[in-house]
């Protein structure tokens, strides 16, 4: 995979297991400013486990080897010391894990905005608006649909202006049209601020539209990776070939294409 001189995130030979089951096998990846890396792969491939380890969370998967370098700070995954991950904004796979169910959304937004966002209140509200969200008012998380919760988590990640943005299935509750519009907003911010994006997705159409690089995982291993165009037009390994040939992807891809026209 071609890479820029100084990656924001570098994962070197990371392996991990849960109990005796190996869940990550010798994963190496790099992400630099300007990159949007999509990690694709079947359910149980280890994608969320990889993200948790990047965040320094060693449960339930325990690393057995590897190091992760973020912003020049090298973390040996076997060392007992926890890494500093304040520069990373992570949008979790389940919106339910992103909110305190007992606090109003406005309160949660304001807490994050006050502690972590360099933006003015007006610019923060513009992000909500750009993602098609209403005023937060007195709502609790359960008052909002999963799709709205997912968009709010993305808005929270964007107003942080992180040094790395990590998205775990960020549009799973959104229809293809809204998903593409929302990720377009993410792209605008990421590009204008030079924030690299690491996105886990099942949706190859979205990966095709937004990612500059794609990494394919199967059974805990990285089976193939490369620039988006190359990987989709000339997949090398059988698993990627199956993924690319799958009809569902092609249907969704054409829907997104049509919607964008």
Ligand X SMILES: Nc1ncnc2c1ncn2[C@@H]1O[C@H](COP(=O)(O)OP(=O)(O)OP(=O)(O)O)[C@@H](O)[C@H]1O
Q: Which spans of this chain sit near Mg ion (rule: CB under 5 A)?
A: 47-48, 93
Task: Identify which of residues 49 and 124 has a Cβ nearer to ligand X in the complex.
Answer: 49
By the rule CB under 6 A, 46 interacts with ligand X: yes
- Does 194 bind ligand X (CB under 6 A)? Our answer is no
Radius of gyration of the chain (CA): 18
- Per-residue mark of binding to ligand X, 86-125 (x: CB under 6 A): -------x--------------------------------
Strand, helix or coil at 17? strand
Burial 92-119 (b: 16+ CB within 10 A, else e): bbebeebbeeeebbeebbeebbeebbeb
If one asks whether residue 45 binds ligand X (CB under 6 A), the answer comes out as: yes
**Closest separation in Å from C-beta 23 to Mg ion:** 11
15 binds, among ligand X, Mg ion, none (CB under 5 to 8 A by kind): none
List the beta bridge partners of residue 37.
198, 213
Rounded alpha-carbon distances, angstroms, from residue 120 to 84, 114, 116, 155, 162: 26, 10, 12, 14, 16
CB contact set of 75 (below 8 Å; sequence gap of 6+): 56, 67, 68, 69, 81, 83
Using rule CB under 6 A, residue 48 touches ligand X = yes
Q: Are 42 and 13 in contact (CB under 8 A)?
A: no
- Which of 32, 49, 124, 171 touches ligand X (CB under 6 A)? 49
Binding segment (CB under 6 A) for ligand X, from list 45-53, 102-110, 122-130, 233-241: 45-53
Least distance CB 122 / Mg ion (angstroms): 35
Site for ligand X in 56-85 (CB under 6 A): 60
Contacted by 92, from ligand X, Mg ion, none: CB < 5 to 8 Å by type: none
Q: Per the structure block, which two tokens stand in for 27? A: 């994963």
Cβ-based nearer residue to ligand X, 23 or 180: 23
């Amino acid at each position: 995979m071609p890479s820029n001189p100084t990656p924001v995130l570098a994962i070197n030979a990371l392996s991990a297991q849960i109990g005796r089951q190996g869940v990550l096998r010798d994963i190496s990846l790099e992400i630099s400013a300007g990159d949007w890396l999509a990690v694709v792969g079947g359910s149980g491939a280890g994608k969320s486990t990889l993200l948790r380890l990047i965040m320094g969370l060693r449960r339930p998967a325990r690393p057995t080897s590897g190091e992760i370098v973020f912003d020049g700070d090298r973390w040996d995954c076997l060392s007992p010391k926890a890494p500093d991950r304040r520069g990373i904004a992570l949008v979790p796979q389940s919106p339910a894990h992103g909110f305190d169910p007992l606090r109003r959304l406005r309160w949660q937004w304001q807490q994050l905005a006050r502690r972590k966002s360099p933006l003015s209140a007006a610019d923060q509200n513009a992000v909500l608006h750009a993602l098609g969200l209403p005023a937060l008012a007195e709502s609790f998380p359960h008052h909002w649909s999963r799709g709205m919760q997912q968009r709010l988590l993305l808005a929270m990640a964007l107003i942080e202006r992180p040094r790395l943005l990590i998205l775990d299935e960020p549009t799973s509750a959104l229809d293809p049209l809204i998903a593409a519009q929302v990720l377009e907003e993410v792209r605008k911010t990421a590009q204008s601020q030079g924030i690299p994006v690491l996105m886990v997705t099942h949706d190859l159409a979205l990966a095709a539209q937004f990612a500059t690089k794609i990494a394919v995982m199967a059974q805990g291993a990285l089976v193939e990776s490369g620039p988006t165009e190359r990987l989709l037009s000339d997949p090398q390994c059988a698993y990627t070939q199956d993924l690319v040939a799958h009809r569902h992807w092609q249907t969704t891809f054409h829907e997104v294409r049509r919607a964008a026209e």
